[in-house]
Amino acid sequence: MESKDIQLLRELLTSLDDDVRCLIHGVISPKANQIAQSFYEKMLSHPESARFLTHEKVDTHLKRTMTIWIQQLVSCQDDGQIEPFIHHQIEIGDKHARINIPLVVMTMGTMVLKQALFRLILESDIPGEKMADAIILLDQLIDLSMAVMNRVYISDMMTDAKDQQALKLQSLGIDMALQTEGLRSSLFDWHRQVLGLLMDVELTVEQMPSIRRTNFGLWVLHKGELLFPGSEEIENLKDVVKQIDESFKAAFKIRSDGWTETMRDHLHEIDHQVTRATTVLDTMTQRTMAMEGGRDPLTKLFNRRFLRTILQREVRSSINSEEQFAIMLIDLDHFKQINDQHGHDAGDAVLRQLAEILVSTIRAGDFAFRYGGEEFLVVINAVKLPTAEMVAEKIRATIASHPFAIGSDTPLHVTASIGVALYDGHPDYHEVISQSDTAVYQAKNSGRNQVVFYQKPSQ
């Protein structure tokens, strides 16, 4: 459903006073470049916004795009220009979310922009009776345009937060399966130990092992709550620890009475809670292992869902640490022929084996994605050009020499074209992906089965 902000912006654009709009256009549009220059000079002077800006980015790209946006905002548009203008505001909001610009920076930018535009109107020769209308209209245009951008921004940021949690659970999946075995063993060991010690009347309660101090209890009360905040399973496990603790203390108090009915009731309750805990642990493991929403079902690599989350983090890390990362796009050569000549099952087998090659070749801190079809994307972290070259060439050579098993007696030999781009500091990660895509296109056109590094066009 379309948001109210978009509806209001469309209504405003379709009901504008053409005379006032064109008066604004006559004052603002000729000075749009000057306004953009002044805008970025002020934004560069603020520490909050300067983190996302450099003089080079402003001069080569941002000033030009801001100039165009100002001109579109105040242009005497006909009805055919309204929908493209609205769509452009949505694209800007999405870009702001990708770059992860704080709302406070966008609010500050809006204030700086309004001051500059209103000052021009007040200093213009617009007739007095029209000047107030011009300022009110300009204020509405800016506010509604920003409202559309911010709604998209907030929606994207909420999606990012959910994806970050899903990514954490994905990463936990295999570890959780291993941890469950350890937690179950810790619980069973405590259970056996307590049953053996419970009748030793010489022991004090302080000398008895506490369920809260076992690996199981410590994980539930500390790490588990951190990893699965607010989950029903953690609340159930915390209740298990509480019930076991209470039943154990009650049984300890009457241990000198021997195996009474009451003692048996307490021990049965401990047995019940131990069984309950193992069931909850199994449920948690199955839930985390079953989360395939962010993984490609064929190759088990990440799909595009988590690409944004990971690259936003890498951009922040690169800006803070001044270390570069690289994007590597890998495109299998003549993959359509494999499907056509050997069938889609053979093509799937090749993709699975390629994924295994990537996982075994890249470093532990790198990320591999199935980007789409026969195309894969690798994020190589904390890397300089020589290392990126070495990793890319190693992957290319491994693919070329690997005998791909496709179910027939004769293995298949496959090659890949690889494009690599080093992150150059641009806050929008789409730029480095686009650069690696340009490089892989060049590799294809230059004969395939090779690595091409993106080179900036000469000025």
Q: Which of 214, 222, 218, 224 is nearest to 186 (CA)?
A: 214
Q: What is the per-residue pLDDT for 158? A: 61
Q: Which of 431, 429, 325 is nearest to 380 (CA)?
A: 325
Q: Is the dihedral of CA 313, 50, 65, 156 positive or negative?
A: positive
Tokens 């535009």 identify what position?
117
Q: Which residues contact 276 (CB under 8 A, 6 or more apart)?
A: 236, 240
Confidence of residue 459 (pLDDT cuts 50, 70, 90): low
Q: What is the per-residue pLDDT for 169? A: 54
Task: Give residue-wise pLDDT tens across range 354-395.
Answer: 999 998 888 877 889 999 999 999 999 888 888 899 999 999
Backbone angles phi, psi at 155, to 5 degrees: -60, -45
In the predicted structure, residue 244 carries a pLDDT above the cut 70: yes
Tokens of 6: 């978009």
For the ranges 25-34, 47-56, 312-321, the one whose mean pLDDT is highest: 25-34
Q: What is the per-residue pLDDT for 444? A: 96
Average pLDDT of span 391-407? 94
DSSP strand pairing (451-453 vs 367-372):
unpaired
SS3 of residue 21 by DSSP: helix
CA-to-CA distance for 148 and 69, rounded, in angstroms?
Answer: 14
Average pLDDT of span 251-272? 83
In the predicted structure, residue 121 carries a pLDDT above the cut 80: yes
Neighbouring C-beta atoms of residue 453, cutoff 10 Å: 20
Backbone angles phi, psi at 125, to 5 degrees: -100, 25
Each domain of the chain, given as residue ranges in start order, spans 4-163, 198-289, 304-453
Tokens of 19: 């005379």
For the ranges 11-25, 44-58, 130-144, 212-226, the one whose mean pLDDT is highest: 130-144
For the ranges 21-25, 90-94, 221-225, 442-446, the one whose mean pLDDT is highest: 442-446
| Superfamily grouping for domain 4-163 | Globins (1.10.490.10)
CA-to-CA distance for 148 and 91, rounded, in angstroms?
Answer: 10
Neighbouring C-beta atoms of residue 166, cutoff 10 Å: 16
The H or E element containing residue 97 is helix 82-99
Q: Which residues contact 90 (CB under 8 A, 6 or more apart)?
A: 6, 148, 149, 152
Q: Is the dihedral of CA 73, 78, 83, 87 positive or negative?
A: negative
Q: Which residues contact 79 (CB under 8 A, 6 or more apart)?
A: 14
* 304-453 CATH fold: Alpha-Beta Plaits (3.30.70)
Task: Give residue-wise pLDDT tens across range 56-108.
Answer: 765 677 888 889 989 988 886 666 788 888 888 888 888 877 877 777 888 88
Q: What is the per-residue pLDDT for 408? A: 74
SS3 of residue 254 by DSSP: coil
Q: Which of 252-261, 267-276, 388-397, 444-453 comes out lowest in average pLDDT?
A: 252-261
Q: What is the per-residue pLDDT for 48? A: 74
User: How are strands ordered across the β-sheet holding 367-372?
Assistant: 367-372, 375-380, 326-332, 416-422, 451-453
- Furthest-apart CA pair in the chain: how many Å? 102
Average pLDDT of span 395-424? 93
Q: What is the per-residue pLDDT for 2? A: 65
In the predicted structure, residue 55 carries a pLDDT above the cut 80: no
CA-to-CA distance for 362 and 379, rounded, in angstroms?
Answer: 9
Task: Give residue-wise pLDDT tens across range 432-458.
Answer: 999 999 999 999 999 999 999 999 876
Q: Which residues contact 204 (CB under 8 A, 6 or more apart)?
A: none
The H or E element containing residue 78 is none
Show the DSSP H helices in 322-408 as ranges: 335-342, 344-361, 385-401
Q: What is the per-residue pLDDT for 177? A: 63
Q: Which of 350, 359, 338 is nearest to 405 (CA)?
A: 350
CA-to-CA distance for 414 and 347, rounded, in angstroms?
Answer: 11
Confidence of residue 40 (pLDDT cuts 50, 70, 90): confident
In the predicted structure, residue 190 carries a pLDDT above the cut 80: yes
Q: Which residues pair with 452 in a beta bridge?
A: 419
| Percent of all residues in the chain with a pLDDT value above 90, rounded to a whole number | 30
- The residue among 115 and 43 whose pLDDT is bigger is 115
Q: Which of 207-216, 229-238, 281-290, 416-425 comes out lowest in average pLDDT?
A: 281-290
Tokens 């076991």 identify what position?
244
Confidence of residue 397 (pLDDT cuts 50, 70, 90): very high
Confidence of residue 118 (pLDDT cuts 50, 70, 90): very high
CA-to-CA distance for 255 and 4, rounded, in angstroms?
Answer: 69
Q: Which of 22-31, 176-185, 206-215, 294-303 comes out lowest in average pLDDT?
A: 176-185
Q: CA 122 from chain center: how many Å? A: 45
SS3 of residue 278 by DSSP: helix
Q: What is the per-residue pLDDT for 407? A: 82
- The residue among 34 and 99 whose pLDDT is bigger is 34
The DSSP line for 39-62 is: HHHHHHTSHHHHTT--HHHIIIII
Tokens of 403: 């005998």
Tokens 């936003």 identify what position?
312
For the ranges 9-13, 162-166, 381-385, 441-445, the one whose mean pLDDT is highest: 441-445
